Structure 1
């Protein structure tokens, strides 16, 4: 079987790599179609091929500038045309550009979607758009039973849905925690309520370590140690090794958390709000 994995924006390169490598080990011929990852190196292909067919200009020329977004929208149809020419028995899409993919995503082969964000925040109100998009896919993969419930209630036929738990990312960082370090890990967005982590650390008399890439201005974090930006593997291991406990005080706007599973995979205890599928075993 020839499997085409499509992650046009390269949002989840490590997840893509692990999925592609696992399918290759299972005997599939796998091709990962994506774009240049803007923040650093990505894992070398292991038994699969990797092609950067999307966005040849916007990430290279504009970096993190907002100007990259309109250029990216202009480049997206070209990437979809290239994707449509690739031979496959199944096409597994990881991330969508909803407004364009609703009209332009086409392939001769069956389409599968992994709904990493069940209903992405930016377009969650566009229910007709998402019903059309979900209707385009033969199968929709979610990472929890909560995800299955949410999309069933949204109108996705239960026969289309498959639950594949998000894998834990194992690591063994050098331990250097002082017994009082609270780690807030991952991309820093408003729904992650990092101010709750700051307040919890203050009440406990603990040290707050914030390690991740902020999207927008930060709230007052009251003396926290900040390690901002995209974390390399070495920087991630250092943060995990320094942590006594990791906290994830998220609002109910997501289903699973890759950062949570990185912490657990490193043996760091985690405290989470019971939202989405975070508390599922």
Structure 2
């Protein structure tokens, strides 16, 4: 487990971090007791909904691999992963470079531990950059001179917002963030997004319990959004693959328009392309 006795400035091991909680869901060891306690509470809430938080986290991780592979094979060579989280198996740069050598990746996060691990892992890879940034200010990320030096933003690139936008509880702010990222995409650019699904009023009690858990984390809260609200983050983009579907059902070759069970909540995922 993470060593709480040798921490860099700015890290409080007693406040759960969404990145470290996700690391725990995935079976990682870069987490503290507070992270594990909060994650266990969320896993219990998931069981009350008939979901397994670990299975959903693993499916979400698999979605990243499916989406990045699809885009790399389609010719995308530039990726910006906002809210990247702690490095694990088959990170974005590993998938992209495996299918398209020379792909360039920027990882963005505001968690100091994430950045320490990312920079250590990526120190010897000139095609990968890790920077501190805030999802709430996408222009500051895209206008960062380090990003401009690392990528050619006049050419198509993909932005990943995977399991991160639901930590923006305010609907207006979340809409603004997604809209601004869509506006900044070049023709042929892509948005890769997954988001926690609110399954309806039958789940109000467990949704409220989940919001209470995350209100005590570094995120400060958790959104409650339904299918239509999540799908609207792709407004103006061409949906690829099966469309916006439960994350476990998202693969590049899945048929669009299928029948999917949304009653238990979980996470929705999709990939959208800005038309030429």
Scaled by the length of structure 1, what TM-score is found? 0.37
Report the structure, 1 or 2, having the larger strand content: 1
- The structure with the larger Rg is 1
Scaled by the length of structure 2, what TM-score is found? 0.38
The structure, 1 or 2, with the larger RCO (C-alpha pairs under 8 Å, 6+ apart) is 2
Report the structure, 1 or 2, having the larger helix content: 2
